A and B are shown apart, each in its own frame.
Chain A
Amino acid sequence: MSSSLISPSELDYIIRGVDDNLRADGRGRLDYREVILETGLIFQANGSARCRLSKGTDVLVGVKVEIGSIEIDGTDEEVAAVKAKRGRVVCNVECSPIASQQFAGRGADDINNELTQLVDRVLNGPQGGLNLEKLCIIPGEECWVVYIDALVLDYGGNILDLIFMTIRAALYNTRVPKTVIEEDKEVEISDDVEEWERIEGWELVPISITLNKIGTRHIVDATVLEELATKAKLSVMVNKNGKICGIQKIGGGSIEHGLLNEMMQTGRSIGQNLILNLDKMLQKEDEINAERAKNDKIGFFAAA
C-alpha cells in the first residue's frame, strides 16, 4: 500500500493550508471540485451514468432491472404485509484495481464491503427515495429488482460522494419496462421502448457529502493526500428537500460534540446546493443525449 503514506512535512502543509482556508489546489475549505457528468453510456443496462471529479475520482454506475420474486420473512405479520407489496434494490460497489494499487487482490474486499453496505442501507430504507411499491408486479409474488452496480475506475479521493451522485444520475437515466399481467399470472414485458418509464421518486434519492476533519476544522471533497491527513470523516446523506437521510462516521478518530453539529449543518446546505446543480446538469444531459442519438456520435470520452 505505497499510496497510503504521507510525510510529516506534507501533513503539516495540509493542516496549515486548511487552517488558512487555502488548499493545495487553490480551493477553499468548503469548495467542491468540478463534477463532470455523463449518462446513458452502457446500452446493455437499463440506465447508466459516469461521474468524474476534475483530475480525480471516476465512477461508473450501471442499473439493471430484472424480475425477481418477493422475499417475505415471516414472524411479524404487519411488517410482512408491507414488504409483500414492494420491489427491491440491490446495491454493489466495486473498487477496481485499475483505480489504485491498494485495491489489488484482496485489498479491496474491506472497502468494497463497507461501501456496499452503506449504499445499500441508504437506498433500501424509506429514506432511499425510490417508490418501491411502484416496482411491485404481483403482490407477494413478483417484483422488479433494481440492481445498482458502481465501479470505481479512478481514485482521487472522496469516492463515496461521487458514488452517490453517479447512482442518482444513473437512476434518472433508468427506464423500467411496462408489464402486463395475463390471466394465468404470466408476466408479459412490453418491448416498446417508448412505453418504458422512469422509476418514480428518483429525484428524492439522497446524495452524500463527506466532511473531513483536519486539525480543528473540516473540509469537503478531499483529495487523496487530504484524506491521509484526515482525523475523522463524517458522511451526511441529504435529499432534495433538505432532509437528513443518513449520517455515518467513517474511519478512526473522534469528533467533538459541537463540531458534529456544525458538520451536519454544513453537509446539509452544501448537499442541497449540489443537488440543484446536478439536476441542471441532468436536464442538459437529456438534450445532449438526444443530439447524440441524431449524430450517431457516442463514446466514453465524449464528455471529458
Chain B
Amino acid sequence: MADRRRIQGPEVSVAPIILKSPNKIQLLDENLCRRNGRNLEDIRSIYLKTGLISQANGSAFIELSKTKIVCGVYGPRQTKIPAFSGKGNLNCEIKFAPFSCPKRRPPYRDSQEKELSQLIYEALTPSIRLDLLPKSTIDIYITILENDGTASCLAAAITCASVAVADAGIEMLDLVPACSASYINGQIFMDSDLIEEKRESGSLVLSYMPSLKEITHILQSGEVELNLTSQAIEQCTDSCSKIYSIMIDSLLLPIQNMK
C-alpha cells in the first residue's frame, strides 16, 4: 500500500521548456535605462514594515517589487542544551516557500537553504550583543514568499532580519542593511532581479554597518577585476546607507503612531 503520510507527488519536478519567446530581452535601452526604468545604480523601492507577527518578539516584512520576505524573531530564551556558553546563541533558519521560485521547491530543507542560513548568521552576529546574553538563544526564522533573484533575496533577508531583531528589543551595535549587485558585460547592475541575475557573469552581496563603517559580510562570485570589485563595494556601501534610513523609519513609525 502506498505511504499516505508522505507527499504523493513525483519526486522531481521539471519546469516546462518554453519553446519560443517573442523577442530577445534587452537589459539596457539606449539611455542606459533598465527594463523597469531604473538606472544602473538605482535599487528597487523598498517597503519595510515591522511587527506583523503577533506571537513573535520581533518581526518584519520586506518587499522589493516582486521579492517578498517575512522574518520572525523569537527570544532571547533559555538555551535547551545543558552545556554552558558565556555568549548567546544565534539560530538562523531561512526557508523558501515551495511556490517562491520558477521551479517548485520541495518543502524539506535543502543545502542551499542551509547555506543561506549560515550566511545570514555570519552577517548578523557581528551586530548583535550576544556577549550580554549568556546561556540564551535567539531564533530567527525567515520565509521567502517570492524570490526575484537569489542574491537580492539574500540581501533583503539580511536587512529584514536585522530590523526584526531590533524590533524584538535585542541590544545591537548597529542595524545591518545589505545590498546586492550583478556584474553584466563589465557593468555593475545594482540590486538585480531574476532576469538580470540569469545573465550575470558574477554577483556581489554586501552587508554593512553604516555607523561603525564595518563590513559584516561579503560574498562575491564570478571572474572580476579587482578595480571593478572595489567600485562595486563602494556602490553597495552607498546603497546600504540609503537602506539604513528606510530601516530606521520603519522602526520609528509604529512608535510615532502610538502617540
Contact = CB atoms under 8 A, between A and B. Distances in A.
Nearest to A250: B122
B16 A248 contact: no
A80 B19 CA distance: 10
B37 interface: no
Interface residues of B, number: 48
Given A78-B25, A127-B222, A268-B226, A254 B216 contact: yes
Contacts of B209: 254
Interface residues of A, number: 43
Would you call the interface of chain A mostly helix, strand, loop, or mixed? mixed
B218 A260 contact: yes
Contact of A245 (B21, B24, B114, B222): B222
Contacts of A104: none
A204 to B, nearest CB: 9
Contacts of A245: 221-224
B115 A114 contact: yes
Interface in A228-262: 232, 234, 239, 242-257, 260-261
B197 to A, nearest CB: 10
Contact of A114 (B118, B195, B201): B118
Nearest to B229: A244
Interface in B19-42: 19-21, 24-25
Contacts of A244: 220, 223-226, 229
A76 interface: yes
Interface of B: 14-21, 24-25, 102-103, 111-112, 114-115, 118, 121-122, 125-127, 195, 198-199, 201-202, 204, 209, 212-226, 229-230, 233, 237
Interface of A: 72-80, 110, 113-114, 116-117, 121-122, 125-127, 232, 234, 239, 242-257, 260-261, 264-265, 268
10 contacts: A78-B25, A79-B199, A110-B118, A113-B118, A117-B112, A246-B221, A254-B216, A255-B218, A257-B214, A265-B226
Nearest 4 A/B pairs, CB to CB: A254-B126, A247-B220, A252-B125, A127-B223
